[in-house]
Structure 1
Amino acid sequence: MNVLLICSMGASTANMCKKIEGAAAQEGIELTATAVAMAMMNDKIGWADVVLVGPQIRFMLDKVRAAAGDKPVEAIDMMAYGMMDGSKVLRQIKGMM
């Protein structure tokens, strides 16, 4: 499964990618997570199976959904993001599938 995380600069979500991949590995799920800045979204959105938006740019959800077509798009749970809780975000991803 390919998961794209989008935030304003792509930096803070890079850490979340590692946490999600670690949680997925513990569950035996093959998952690759990549973080990009909003400005680079169109370069990677075709690769993704699931798209998550950082809570700091949740106001951009409609724009991301329009670019993603029929792919599931949600904002990352704010508490999970703040705590860098990869397991909780992985549960969110599984719920989106």
Structure 2
Amino acid sequence: MTFEFTNCMDKDTFVLGDTSTNYIKDTFTNYTENTFTYHIENSITDFMWNIEDTFLNYTENIFMNNVIQINAFNTLNANENVKVNKDMRIDKRIEV
């Protein structure tokens, strides 16, 4: 399964955190009437992405080894120092 965020909608926010640690915190609401928050941390090394997801009103689904695709076309808070690509693919693992 692939989550695809094409832009920032009215009730969505896409916030880039401290560029020195390359820590990204994304909070999306009003997506198929569900609310979920996910945190992405990149060590800027050869290590895999470390992703920790919390799903609210999404408990009937189990996601494992999926890919989140982020299209950063309309990220209002994007900083050129963060080097976010428009189609950034992230290995997504959730321990259930």
- TM-score relative to the length of structure 2: 0.28
Which has more radius of gyration?
2
Which structure has more strand as a fraction of its residues? 2
Which structure has more helix as a fraction of its residues? 1
